[in-house]
Amino acid sequence: MLGKMTSRVIYLLLILSIVIISHDLCSRTGDRQMRDTAFRQYDIRGIVGDELIIEEIYDLVRAIAYYFVQKNPACKTIAVGMDGRVDSAAIKQEMCRALSDSGMNVMFIGVCPSPVLYFALHTLPVDGGLMITASHNPKEYNGIKICCGTESVWGKEIQHIARLYKEKKHTIVKDNPSIHCSASNTHSRAEALAKAGGERGKGNIVDYPLIPAYVDWLADHFQQLKNMDLAAVIDCGNGVAGTVMPQLIKKMGWQQVKLLYEDVDGTFPNHEADPVKEVNMRAVKQQLDTTDAYIGIGFDGDADRMGAMTKTGTLIPGDKLLGIFAHSIVQKNPGTPIVFNVICSSALVELLEKWGAQPIITAVGHSIIEEEMRKQGALLGGETSCHFFFKDRYFGYDDGIYAACRLFEILLTSDKNLQELLQMFPPKVTSPEYRIPCPEEKKQLIVDKVKQLFTAQPDITTITIDGVRATMNYGWGILRASNTQPVLSLRFESDSLKGLQQVKHDFLVALQDYFDVDALRKQLEI
């Protein structure tokens, strides 16, 4: 009797163990979907293993392929690039498999910056692109930037892809020929064709490293920078700028340019790859203090942004850099539109109007800037976050490495030095960006209430394209909901410190019903 009971207990424990193991396997594979929070305003991005599930990349990319065909039934070839994060290779493997199973050819351009992926869209015979990156986010993150044709996919289109993914929408491109050779294209397809050889019914997967062609293009278009004597220090931040800069420096003969942290390391052991934060430019500042370097440059994780620091260790705000770029362009193109977001300094508006340019203000977001530039026929756009978009002599996308070359060019050819260029701006007292934690479901409600409050006051001028920017006779402030995090973003500016504090106080009063006033006062440094 005891033996039978023991056998039954062992049997039940065995069944229970199988159930637990099966549940665990399911939770790590098919039953776990991407979280809704991974489908963001401008890309698909999240913490790997929590929001972004690698085992689900295959189905996600099958849905993206379905989307590509919806937008362009002739879509057949996709460029794929990736950054150096620890999970990027695994994501790339699943991505390429999904595209191939969808019948699409894949041109894998290698570990590279996002701008090299964008460069591929303009120089290779491809119909779209996918970039595996989480930009400047911490090492736990990864993601996918999506381009259809040469344009970024964002906003409602990202949410549409989320629905396709949840519905398990797949597509198969039938009768897709091998990657073709284009006589009008600047790059030979011979190497690609030699490596192509997909199975019947599947697309070809071709390795086609593009960084050498990108470096050659930059060298050809910045001839005046060859062998330049400008001393500079450049921090790659262990991001993928390190795949380009050593080659570019060698090609250009920049003997006085020193690189920091050029080894690609997805754990970012030295600092976050975000050059708009002064803490991440400490190594650059130290080099400026102790060497002959005249200017410091920092790149973010995927090198689509560039920060700059003066010899004296001052981090140049993105809107001032945009003004410096605009000055060189407006001189040759009077009346041209310059596109920038609503949180940029009023000093930029004053300067552009003085120079005869057309200031075009948009909501925050690099994809929004790109779209407005196309509408306006603008030659330049930018953001305080140091995304710079050059249509003047370039393709119109954000490229930190290209922007750095343009800055070097200005410093070498202008009759003004960097300090004199910065002195062009009317003096303003500007706050940093304050990011106030706020539940996701309450963000827009609070912004709408504050917007109603300010727009009802006749002595206040408001801009409401993205939150509310309220201008008083002593300064302005802006409140907006972040597109990427559960926070409210605020920034203030005035001609004087007293005016700045008054603007801050006006916003404090407007927000007092929604936050602890003492805590908010401390956060806003009132």
Given a cut of 70, is residue 117 above it in pLDDT?
A: yes
Active site (annotated) includes residue 45: yes
Given a cut of 50, is residue 2 above it in pLDDT?
A: no
CB 133 within 8 A of CB 145: yes
CATH 3.40.120.10 fits 211-313, yes or no: yes
Q: What is the mean pLDDT of residues 333-357?
A: 97
Nearest Cα to 403, choosing from 344, 329, 348, 349? 329
Give CA–CA dist 324/471, Å, rounded.
Answer: 25
Within the chain, all domains assigned CATH 3.30.310.50 are found at 429-523
pLDDT in tens, 389-446: 999 999 999 999 999 999 999 999 998 889 899 999 999 999 989 999 999 899 999 9
Give CA–CA dist 233/249, Å, rounded.
Answer: 12
- Catalytic residue, chosen from 45, 62, 271, 480, is 45
Q: Which of 30-39, 135-144, 391-400 has the lowest mean pLDDT?
A: 30-39
CA 110-112-116 angle, 5° bins: 100
Given a cut of 80, is residue 12 above it in pLDDT?
A: no
CB 463 within 8 A of CB 447: no
Contacts 24+ apart (CB under 8 A), 496-501: 496/429, 497/429, 498/474, 499/429, 499/474, 499/475, 500/429, 500/430, 500/431, 500/475, 501/526
Give CA–CA dist 238/412, Å, rounded.
Answer: 28
Q: What is the pLDDT of residue 177?
A: 57
- Catalytic residue, chosen from 136, 271, 327, 387, is 387
CATH superfamily of 317-427: Alpha-D-Glucose-1,6-Bisphosphate, subunit A, domain 3 (3.40.120.10)
pLDDT in tens, 240-293: 999 999 999 999 999 999 999 999 999 999 999 999 999 999 999 999 999 999
Q: 36-209 has which fold?
A: Alpha-D-Glucose-1,6-Bisphosphate; Chain A, domain 3 (3.40.120)
Bridge partners of 491, per DSSP, are: 478
Active site (annotated) includes residue 184: no
Within the chain, all domains assigned CATH 3.40.120.10 are found at 36-209, 211-313, 317-427
CB 95 within 8 A of CB 205: no
How many C-alpha atoms does 98 have within 13 Å on its Cβ side? 25
| 3-state SS assignment for residue 263 | coil
Q: SS3 breakdown of the chain: % helix, strand, coil, rounded to 5?
A: 40, 20, 40
At residue 382 the predicted structure's pLDDT band, cuts being 50, 70 and 90, is: very high
Give CA–CA dist 245/225, Å, rounded.
Answer: 14
| 3-state SS assignment for residue 259 | strand
The H-or-E segment that residue 223 falls in is none
Given a cut of 80, is residue 457 above it in pLDDT?
A: yes
Q: At what angle do helices 57-71 and 156-166 cross, to 10 degrees?
A: 120
CATH 3.30.310.50 fits 429-523, yes or no: yes
- Neighbouring CB atoms inside 10 A of 147's CB total 23
Q: What is the pLDDT of residue 197?
A: 41
Q: What is the pLDDT of residue 186?
A: 40
| 3-state SS assignment for residue 137 | coil
Q: What is the pLDDT of residue 511?
A: 97
At residue 176 the predicted structure's pLDDT band, cuts being 50, 70 and 90, is: low
At residue 508 the predicted structure's pLDDT band, cuts being 50, 70 and 90, is: very high
Nearest Cα to 79, choosing from 63, 52, 99, 59? 99
At residue 484 the predicted structure's pLDDT band, cuts being 50, 70 and 90, is: confident
Given a cut of 80, is residue 17 above it in pLDDT?
A: no
Give CA–CA dist 234/211, Å, rounded.
Answer: 19
At residue 31 the predicted structure's pLDDT band, cuts being 50, 70 and 90, is: low
Main-chain phi, psi angles of 356, to 5 degrees: 90, 15
- Catalytic residue, chosen from 100, 102, 135, 346, is 135
CB 213 within 8 A of CB 187: yes
Handedness of CA 85, 234, 250, 124 (dihedral sign): positive
Active site (annotated) includes residue 221: no
